Amino acid sequence: MSEELAIDGGPPVRSSFLPYAKQTIEDDDVEAVVAALRSDWLTTGPRVEEFEHAFAEYVGTRHAVAYSSGTAALHGTTFAAGLGEGDEVVVPAMTFAASAACAVYVGATPVLADVEPGTLNLDPAELERALTARTRAVVVVHYAGIPANMESIGDIARRAGLVVIEDAAHAIGARMRDQLVGTIGDMAVFSLHPAKQLTAGEGGIVTTDDEQLASRLRRFRNHCMDTSGREREESGGHAYTIEELGFNYRLTDIQAALGLSQLRKLDRFLERRRELAALYDHLLAHRNDLMLPVVPDETTPAWHLYVVRLVLERLDADRDAIFRALRAENIGVNVHYKPVHLLGFYRRLLDVAEGSYPAAEDAYRRILTLPLFPSMKDDDVVSVVRALDKVLSRSSRLADRLAS
Ligand SMILES: *Cc1c(COP(=O)(O)O)cnc(C)c1O
C-alpha cells in the first residue's frame, strides 16, 4: 500500500515496457513473405487477388479491394461514392482523424456528430441532428472494436438517402448478432496497420457487395487506369486510358503475402483478445474509480482496444498525471483519441468551438487505452491491474478512503 510510485523514484511494477499494441509475426508469416520476394510479382499481383478473395470470404461480402493503407482505402470509398464539393459527410467526433480526412480529400465537408456516452460510437440521435439537405454520406466507426448501432444508423441513412461507409479499422471479426461488421454499410474499410488485429505492415481493404463501387475502388487505387499492369501483361497489349484523377494506392504482393498468412490465424488472435478483455473486466471490476468498456447486448466486440475511463470525481489527479505515472511503471497506456475538432487542422476547417461535442470531450478527459495484443500473457494483464491499483490508490480522494 505504501509502495513508492515509480514516477517518484520507487521500483516500477514491471521491469520491461509493455506496449499498448504489438503485432504477432510467426515463422509461417516470415516464410510467406520470403516466398513472395522470390516470386515474379513484388507489387500488385496474384497474392493481392488471392488476399482480396480470402478477405471477402471471411467478411462475407462479394468484393474486397486492397489498398496501401486504411486511410487510402477510406479515400477510395469517398471517391467511389462520388462525393465532392458541397457534399457533407457525417463523422463521429471520437475517432482517428482519417475518418474525417477521407471527406476532405475529395473536397467534401466532414460534419462531426457526438457519440453515445457509453460505447463512444456514433449516437444515432446526433446523426439525425447533423443532417442537412447537403448530407450525402455517413462514416460509422466501430470504436475499439465494439459494433456501432447499425440498425438505427441504417434506418436514418436509408430515409435520408445516405451512403453508409463503415470505418471498421478497429473491428474485423466483430459481430452484431450473427452479422459481421463490414457487411452492413455500402462499403467498409479495414486497416492492416501493425496495431490492428491483423497486419500487412501497412495496408487497407474495402469490402462491398456492390459491383460498380468495387470497380471504381479498383480503378482509383491505380491512377484510375481502365486496365491494370497485370491485365496488360497477360493480354499482351499496352493501351489504357485515364478518365478521372486517381492515385497510386496499390498494396504490394509482399504485403498481401503477410496479410494472407495473418488472415488464416485471425480467429485465434481474436479469441485471445476476447480472453484478455474478459480478464481485464474480471480483475478491474472492484475499482469504483474506473468505468470499463460498455458492450451492447447481442454484440461480440473484436477488441482492437481496451479503453477504460477514469471516474475523475473519485480521484484527485487528472488523466495525464495518471498516464505519466503508469508509463513510469512500464505500462504502455495510450489515449484514443483526441476528438477530431480539437486537432488544429480540423479546428480551423470546421470552425466549431470546444464544448460542441460534450460526450466526446468528456470521454477524452477520462480515457486510457490499456495494453492489449494476442501474445500478451495473463501475467501481463495482472501487472497492468497491479499498476492501476498502485497508481489509482495514491490518487483516490481522501474522503473516499475515510468513507470505506
Ligand atoms: C487505423 C485507423 C485508420 C487508418 O488506417 P491506416 O491503415 O493506419 O491508414 C482509420 N480509421 C481508424 C478509426 C483507425 O483506427
Tell me the domains of the chain and their CATH numbers. Answer: 6-22+266-403 (3.90.1150.10), 27-263 (3.40.640.10)
Mean pLDDT of 226-238: 87
CA distance linking residue 393 with residue 400, whole number of Å: 10
The pLDDT score that the predictor gives to residue 220 is 98
CA dihedral 383, 384, 388, 390 (to 10 degrees): 20
Confidence tier at 365 by pLDDT (50, 70, 90): very high
Helices (H), 41-130: 46-59, 70-80, 98-105, 124-130
Whether omega before 364 lies within 30 degrees of 0, making that bond cis, reads: no
Mean pLDDT of 196-209: 98
Pick the range with the lowest mean pLDDT from 95-99, 217-221, 395-399.
395-399
For residue 320, report the distance from its CA to the centre of ligand 1, in Å.
24
Whose alpha carbon is nearest atom 13 of ligand 1?
Answer: 96
DSSP reduced 3-state for 291 = strand
The pLDDT score that the predictor gives to residue 400 is 60
- pLDDT of residue 403 exceeding 90: no
- pLDDT of residue 87 exceeding 90: yes
- pLDDT of residue 186 exceeding 60: yes
And the C-alpha cell for 185? 454499410
The count of other CB atoms within 10 Å of the CB of residue 54 is: 16
Q: Which amino acid is at 50?
A: E
Confidence tier at 185 by pLDDT (50, 70, 90): very high
CB of residue 71 inside a 6 A radius of ligand 1: yes
Whose alpha carbon is nearest atom 15 of ligand 1?
Answer: 169
Average pLDDT, the chain: 96
Q: Kindly give the number of the ligand 1 atom that is closest to the alpha carbon of 170.
A: 15
For residue 218, report the distance from its CA to the centre of ligand 1, in Å.
20
CB of residue 259 inside a 6 A radius of ligand 1: no
CB of residue 69 inside a 6 A radius of ligand 1: yes
CA angle 153, 159, 160 (to 5 degrees): 85
Read off the DSSP letter of residue 340. G
- Tell me which residues are annotated as active site: 196
CB of residue 361 inside a 6 A radius of ligand 1: no
CA distance linking residue 173 with residue 72, whole number of Å: 21
For residue 98, report the distance from its CA to the centre of ligand 1, in Å.
6
CB of residue 170 inside a 6 A radius of ligand 1: yes
And the C-alpha cell for 291? 468505468
For residue 159, report the distance from its CA to the centre of ligand 1, in Å.
28
pLDDT in tens, 264-323: 999 999 999 999 999 999 999 999 999 999 999 999 999 999 999 999 999 999 999 999
pLDDT in tens, 110-141: 999 999 999 999 999 999 999 999 999 999 99
The pLDDT score that the predictor gives to residue 253 is 98
The pLDDT score that the predictor gives to residue 70 is 98
The pLDDT score that the predictor gives to residue 402 is 59
CB of residue 139 inside a 6 A radius of ligand 1: no
pLDDT in tens, 345-363: 999 999 998 899 999 999 9
Q: Kindly give the number of the ligand 1 atom that is closest to the alpha carbon of 95.
A: 13
CB of residue 157 inside a 6 A radius of ligand 1: no
Mean pLDDT of 82-96: 98
The pLDDT score that the predictor gives to residue 395 is 81
CB of residue 169 inside a 6 A radius of ligand 1: yes
- pLDDT of residue 334 exceeding 60: yes
For residue 148, report the distance from its CA to the centre of ligand 1, in Å.
16
Confidence tier at 233 by pLDDT (50, 70, 90): confident
Mean pLDDT of 370-382: 98
For residue 262, report the distance from its CA to the centre of ligand 1, in Å.
18
Nearest-Å Rg of the Cα atoms of the chain is 22
CB of residue 101 inside a 6 A radius of ligand 1: no
Q: Kindly give the number of the ligand 1 atom that is closest to the alpha carbon of 202.
A: 7
Mean pLDDT of 203-208: 98
The pLDDT score that the predictor gives to residue 398 is 55
The pLDDT score that the predictor gives to residue 230 is 85
Q: Which of 68, 112, 191 to mutate to test the pocket of ligand 1 (most atoms within 8 A of CB)?
A: 191
CB of residue 339 inside a 6 A radius of ligand 1: no
Whose alpha carbon is nearest atom 10 of ligand 1?
Answer: 98
For residue 195, report the distance from its CA to the centre of ligand 1, in Å.
10
For residues 397 and 22, the model is more confident at: 22
Question: With pLDDT > 90 as the criterion, what percentage of the chain qualifies?
Answer: 92
Whose alpha carbon is nearest atom 14 of ligand 1?
Answer: 169
pLDDT in tens, 49-83: 999 999 999 999 999 999 999 999 999 999 999 99
